[in-house]
Amino acid sequence: MSLKRNAFLHGATLLLLGGACQPGATGAEPPLVATLPTRVRQPVALAFGDQGTRLFVANRRSGSLSVVDASTMAVVAEFDVGRGLADVAPLPDHHHLLVVDQAADTLLLLKDRDGSIRVVDRIEVGPDPVSLSVSIDGMTCVVASRWSRRLTVVEISKGSEHPTLTLVRTLELPFSPRRMIRLGEGSRLVVADAFGGKLAVVDLERGAIESVRSLPAHNIGGLALSPDGRSLLVAHQVLNPLSMSRFEDVHWGSMLSNPLRVLRVDRLLASGTDSELLRGSRLLRLGDVGNAAGDPAAVAFDRLGNYVVALAGVGEVAIGAGTGEPLHRLAVGRRPTAIALDPQRTKAYVADTADDVIAVVSLGAAERIGTIRLGPRPEPSRADRGESLFFDARLSHDGWMSCQSCHTDGHTTGSKIDTLGDGSFGAPKQIPSLLGVGSTPPWTWLGGVDRLEVQVRKSIETTMQGRRPSDEQVEDLAAYLRTLASPPATLALVSPVDPAVERGRALFVARECAACHAPPHYTTTECYDVGLIDEVGNHMFNPPSLRGIGVRAPLLHDGRAKTLSDVFATHHHPHDAQFSLQEVADLVAFLKTL
């Protein structure tokens, strides 16, 4: 550490010793770590401040904000501002930052002055906030919350000492959001599905959702507006519902591919069908046979109009000019998820989430020119190693897919896939959520696997067509999966309990639903004939856990029920059961509390 940087840290430490409060308390000065501690950080978001002289890094695991000097490419400070950060954005005044604290369901306003960062205001937002978007004038911002399926619009007002945050409105979405992008200087905001392929256009001025379109896509990892504002670039994956997880289908990229979709903004804003939107679009393939590009994530445009995309599953960055042009691909670190370009848009700073590293890439030379280590890391636990493997597409043949590709954030993409998970091809099944999977044996839709490690190995070898994993890799992955908690109850997230819940609970008991779905996990270890049959004649099914059922769709083994209501009103589950409309509404209300 240089003498100059030591002085910077010393001055900030004196402020801390002069009367710091608890980390994250409003008006408190979060601890500045003069000697960077040994811990896992997991950088997930990047933003430049001070006209490009400093880079702010939001760390999810540690809840800290790292500050990087762009000229020296070194960390000069780290502040513990929250519990688990998801996004960061500077305000135009160059003295304030907004940070999303996902673990605390809070939007934080930070004051950045004289080498000191402190929390000066905070506001609760929709549970599970994952991203934010700030208006060009810095007067409003929007926070997207994943599990609560909500947008929170916040006004940023000028104050005598610092800006203040005020809730303007909330908007409910028909899907779980993650990525967002504003279309130019207008009031339109595009919001992307966290798991599936939906895109919503929101008019922030009117507080209304104008349209919701569905792309043949899932796992939307990045959005970028072209320099002329006429095209929207969408990084995502495509799962072919007609393919099987045979070696040939994986090898040729016909089962799962990793493209960029170029959408025309005028068609996205116009009224029309999904087909009409796709008719004016282009698809750019990011990988090919022998050199796939699993899990494309953040995307941006450089000063020449070339796109820059992080290939999170294979630890690379790709730079391309368009259809038919060769891609320049270069290695960075493990699981690159976020990109920030310098003000000149000639360098890309890439957050390698699994390494706690920021890779610096020269876009003109297409080469890595620097490595910024955010701090010392402890020896990884078994679950930590498993988490890195979960997001690593190099476990699969040629790097086409990772576990994340089908089980986004450990959940499900809502797609159907034909694998050997149940012992044969010919009967595609709905991809199950892995949230809470450690508590719900046996596994697969037919309940044929009673050890999680066996299922992990089978998925790598027969679905991903990867090489035989080591016993240690299998055990590490299983350890990570056992840390995944069930998603929160949707009704508890978005609305107060109403009398329908108690009526639904009583109906659940009266209809003996607990015979297959017994609390506390709302599943059992046996398989049952519930009046369903798949394409190859299987009729005994393993009941999935009902925990978090409100954020899973479609439902049943083959996804025939598009909504939770359809399970009872349309498909009369189980065994041609009959329910009145009121009973269906009551059951759904109760199930959304699980």
Question: Cα–Cα distance between 101 and 81 in angstroms, integer?
Answer: 9
Domain membership flag for residue 505:
yes
**Whether 19 and 127 share a structural domain:** yes
> Among 255, 290, 260, which Cα is nearest to 405's?
255
Per-block mean pLDDT, blocks of 10 residues, the chain (594 long)? 28 28 46 78 96 95 97 95 98 94 98 90 96 95 96 92 94 97 91 98 96 97 96 97 95 96 96 93 94 97 96 97 82 98 97 98 96 96 98 98 98 95 92 95 94 97 97 98 88 69 94 95 95 95 94 93 95 94 95 92
Question: Cα–Cα distance between 535 and 522 in angstroms, integer?
Answer: 27
Specify the pLDDT at position 586.
Answer: 95
Tell me the backbone φ, ψ of residue 533, rounded to 5 degrees: -150, 140
Question: Cα–Cα distance between 437 and 455 in angstroms, integer?
Answer: 11
**Whether 19 and 101 share a structural domain:** yes
> Among 80, 98, 81, which Cα is nearest to 89's?
98
- Pick the last residue of a domain from 481, 507, 533: 481
Domain membership flag for residue 52:
no
- Pick the last residue of a domain from 481, 514, 542: 481
Specify the pLDDT at position 115.
Answer: 80
**Whether 462 and 423 share a structural domain:** yes
Specify the pLDDT at position 20.
Answer: 30
**Whether 518 and 473 share a structural domain:** no
> Among 28, 26, 97, which Cα is nearest to 66's?
97
Outline where DSSP puts E strands in 279-356: 282-285, 296-301, 307-311, 316-320, 328-331, 336-341, 347-352
**Whether 454 and 581 share a structural domain:** no
**Whether 133 and 105 share a structural domain:** yes
Tell me the backbone φ, ψ of residue 447, rounded to 5 degrees: 65, 30
Domain membership flag for residue 15:
yes
Contact present, 579 and 573 (Cβ < 8 Å)? no
> Among 290, 247, 256, which Cα is nearest to 407's?
256
**Whether 471 and 499 share a structural domain:** no
**Whether 29 and 170 share a structural domain:** yes
The residue written with tokens 């700073």 in the block is 349
**Whether 514 and 444 share a structural domain:** no
Cα distances from 485 to residues 376, 439, 481, 489, 543, in angstroms, run 28, 9, 9, 12, 18
Specify the pLDDT at position 10.
Answer: 27
> Among 180, 411, 393, 176, which Cα is nearest to 295's?
393
> Among 27, 1, 22, 2, which Cα is nearest to 116's?
27
The total domain count for the chain is 3
The residue written with tokens 């909504």 in the block is 563
The one-letter amino acid code at 102 reads Q
Specify the pLDDT at position 33.
Answer: 53
Specify the pLDDT at position 491.
Answer: 63
**Whether 16 and 105 share a structural domain:** yes
Domain membership flag for residue 172:
yes
DSSP-assigned beta bridge partners for residue 89: 98
Question: Cα–Cα distance between 25 and 104 in angstroms, integer?
Answer: 12
Question: Cα–Cα distance between 116 and 123 in angstroms, integer?
Answer: 21
**What tens digit of pLDDT does each residue of 280-309 get?**
899 999 999 999 999 999 999 999 999 999
Question: Cα–Cα distance between 547 and 442 in angstroms, integer?
Answer: 16
Specify the pLDDT at position 86.
Answer: 98
- Pick the last residue of a domain from 481, 509, 542: 481
354: Cβ contacts below 8 Å, ≥ 6 apart: 42, 333, 334, 335, 387, 388, 391
> Among 340, 314, 125, which Cα is nearest to 237's?
314
Residue 181 has which token pair? 């992008």
- Residue 16: which domain range? 1-35+84-177+191-207
Tell me the backbone φ, ψ of residue 504, rounded to 5 degrees: -65, -35
Domain membership flag for residue 441:
yes
Contact present, 215 and 274 (Cβ < 8 Å)? yes
Domain membership flag for residue 143:
yes
Outline where DSSP puts E strands in 324-408: 328-331, 336-341, 347-352, 357-362, 367-373
**In this structure, what CATH number is given to the domain that contains residue 411?**
1.10.760.10
148: Cβ contacts below 8 Å, ≥ 6 apart: 126, 127, 128, 490, 493, 494
Residue 95 has which token pair? 């003295």
> Among 376, 375, 365, which Cα is nearest to 68's?
375
Specify the pLDDT at position 21.
Answer: 32
Q: Can you tell me whether residue 385 is helix, strand or coil?
A: helix
Specify the pLDDT at position 324.
Answer: 65
**Whether 462 and 537 share a structural domain:** no
**What tens digit of pLDDT does each residue of 182-222 get?**
998 889 999 999 999 999 999 999 999 999 999 999 999 99
Side by side, the strands of the sheet bearing 198-203 are 177-182, 188-193, 198-203, 208-214
Side by side, the strands of the sheet bearing 85-90 are 85-90, 96-101, 106-113, 116-124
Domain membership flag for residue 249:
no
**Whether 504 and 476 share a structural domain:** no
